[in-house]
A and B are shown apart, each in its own frame.
Chain A
Amino acid sequence: MASKVIQAFYNDDDVLMHAVKKVKAAKHHIEEVYCPFPVHGLDKAMGLAPTRIAITSFLYGCVGLTVAVVMMNYIMIEDWPQDIGGKPSFSYLENMPAFVPIMFELTVFFAAHLMVITFYLRSRLWPFKKAENPDVRTTDDHFLMEIEIHDNEQELKDLLADTGAVEINISEKNSH
């Protein structure tokens, strides 16, 4: 369904922060903010929920550790417990120090890579993906705040003009 959105442009991150706070105070829902670089505190001002990606990373690390332990235990202890240079292969615990480097590396490997993949999936990033950039200037030196219009075009225009926007556009947008 196509809907109308209002796009306000800013050329300073401080002005943008104040604008976001003002729009939030006026109880309008901010659809999206496009920035050329991370603006410290913007997520808090917009009221976005904190990310849970660190929790996923911890869980992936636990998976990696388990994979390492199960793999080394099966290969080195259960399947073919050879005597290699006098290492005690009678039980996992007895030979554990030799496995710790693998356990550590696999924990880090799983935690890092699966977290990155999670990030790509959740933020819908992949090669050949069509860029969702509403205006090319937002990757260079402009900040853009986008608000959906619900029969309140003039009111929103006045509010945004008041917050120091350098340009205000109305455009049609297809929701994905």
Chain B
Amino acid sequence: MYTFSNRLKIGSIILMAVGLLGIIGGFVMAPGTVEEAKAMVASHDGGHGESADAHAAVVEHGDGHDAAHDEHLLHQLQNKPWAALYVAAFFFMMIALGVLAFYAIQRAAQAGWSPLLFRVMEGITAYLVPGGIIVFVILLLSVLHMNHLFVWMDSDVVAHDALLQGKSGYLNPTFFLIRAAVFLGGWIAYREYSRKLSLQQDESSDNSKFVLNFRISAAFLVFYLISESIMSWDWIMSVDPHWFSTLFGWYIFASMFVSGITVIAMVTIYLKSKGLLPDVNDSHIHDLAKFMFGISIFWTYLWFSQFMLIWYSNIPEEVTYYVTRIEDYKLPFFGMIAMNFVFPLLLLMNSDFKRVNWFVVLAGIVILAGHYLDIFNAIMPATVGDQWYIGLSEISSVLFFAGFFIFWVFRALATAPLQPKRNPFIEESKHFHY
């Protein structure tokens, strides 16, 4: 039985407190009026160089376009703390959801190596409940016009936009919230029920709970694939409501899947280093690292497929998505490819390196940072445009949710023994050797 160590608890609470202060600071510092927004951009002139200068020049034109542009700038700067909060909230929720998908696959595939890690996965997916609710609350606040993250929620904008009117049968606030509630409800219901069955199986005298868990996991995977795809259109793609991509759902799936597997590996290595998972050996870490390696490449494959198809045909209505990213987000956009592809490719290719725990943790940190940037690149260009900056709001949001994630996950890990007792595959898993 694991007990939540005091040092970790205090550490996570400090992270949450510091993050919360920073988040509040970010909201306080956001401009309230057009004048403040203009002053903020002007004061950045020195730092931002050319682009800000060009911006100031446009602002000084003083024609009819001017007021609209200023309004746009104000919205971007007001969006910044919201977008930072949303990216971090989604990122940590997506880790828990990715782990849940991995867990369901392990159950449905009746994998022989992983039952030893089921409690670790269940601990991580515990975060889905509060994390999912936080994301839902942010979406709800967007619908209530507390921010401008989703431009299609603004009825003034829709009134002047034929394209958005055409999509309003799908992209309307009520239906949007209903879909979000159904998806979160489905994921959380599976998570809680599967966890309950998993604990009951330990005390049971036959395998009926295990078989039932196998069945609901297979059913969940069907629901998950559909809901995850729609979720990615709703929560991420719809910040750019004029743009669409068919493989977007799988692309976001790959991102959450690899982040989730990475977190499983890191939590496992942490618990193992404390001597709490005596039967977990290097072969289990090796398998997780292989998944990190393989899914990193899978993510790159989808990222490149999406990028290359749009770049190649260069249809204006699609290509603006990448034009804004390459113009304004050059470093995060291409830096993410290095972190999510080149780095894991070279680090995790060697079979021996995949068994070295600190090496896996190092690769994992880079992969997680890379996939944070992935979500950052997906949300920010549509919400804050060229006013992006990884500053107080962004870092504080990550710190807050990281602290909350650690707190919740390790609290959940402490509620049950770390090793399942009566899983039919547990002996195989204990002697798993690659």
Contacts and interface: CB of A to CB of B under 8 A. Distances in A.
Q: Is B one of A's binding partners?
A: yes
Interface of A: 54, 58, 86, 97-98, 100
12 contacts: A54-B351, A58-B349, A86-B314, A97-B304, A97-B307, A97-B308, A97-B311, A97-B312, A98-B308, A98-B312, A100-B304, A100-B308
Contacts of A86: 314
A52 B335 CA distance: 33
A97 B314 CA distance: 12
Contacts of B308: 97-98, 100
A54 B351 CA distance: 10
Given A58-B349, A86-B314, A98-B308, 9 more contacts: A54-B351, A97-B304, A97-B307, A97-B308, A97-B311, A97-B312, A98-B312, A100-B304, A100-B308
Nearest to A97: B308
A111 to B, nearest CB: 12
A86 B349 CA distance: 38
Interface string B285-324: 0000000000000000000100110011010000000000
7 tightest CB-CB pairs across the interface, nearest first? Answer: A97-B308, A97-B311, A98-B312, A100-B304, A100-B308, A97-B312, A97-B307
Interface string B338-353: 0000000000010100
Contacts of A58: 349
B254 to A, nearest CB: 17
Contacts of B304: 97, 100
A97 B308 CA distance: 6
Contacts of B351: 54
A20 to B, nearest CB: 19
Contacts of A98: 308, 312
Interface of B: 304, 307-308, 311-312, 314, 349, 351
Nearest to B310: A97
A96 to B, nearest CB: 10
Contacts of A54: 351
A40 B304 CA distance: 39
A100 B349 CA distance: 20
A37 to B, nearest CB: 20
Nearest to B301: A104
Nearest to B314: A86
Contacts of A100: 304, 308
A125 to B, nearest CB: 25
Nearest to B352: A50
A98 B349 CA distance: 26
A54 B354 CA distance: 15
A54 B312 CA distance: 35
Nearest to B351: A54
B264 to A, nearest CB: 26
A86 B319 CA distance: 15
A115 B308 CA distance: 30
Contacts of B314: 86
Nearest to A98: B312
A169 B311 CA distance: 70
A86 B313 CA distance: 10
A98 B308 CA distance: 7
Contacts of B349: 58
B354 to A, nearest CB: 13
A154 to B, nearest CB: 39
A58 B351 CA distance: 13
Most chain-B Cβ atoms within 10 A of its Cβ — which of A58, A86, A97, A98? A97
A86 B312 CA distance: 10
Contacts of B311: 97
A41 to B, nearest CB: 10
A86 B314 CA distance: 10
A138 B355 CA distance: 36
Nearest to B308: A97
B255 to A, nearest CB: 20
Nearest to B304: A100
Nearest to A41: B433
B334 to A, nearest CB: 11
Nearest to B309: A97
A152 to B, nearest CB: 36
A100 B314 CA distance: 17
A58 B348 CA distance: 13
A97 B351 CA distance: 30
Contacts of B312: 97-98
A98 B313 CA distance: 11
Contacts of A97: 304, 307-308, 311-312
Contacts of B307: 97
B338 to A, nearest CB: 15
A100 B311 CA distance: 13
A154 B307 CA distance: 72
A59 B78 CA distance: 51
A137 to B, nearest CB: 31
A50 to B, nearest CB: 10
A98 B351 CA distance: 32
A86 B351 CA distance: 44
A97 B349 CA distance: 24
A14 B304 CA distance: 49
Nearest to A101: B308
A100 B308 CA distance: 9
B340 to A, nearest CB: 16
Nearest to B349: A58
A98 B311 CA distance: 9
A100 to B, nearest CB: 7
A86 B304 CA distance: 20
A78 B427 CA distance: 62
A173 to B, nearest CB: 36
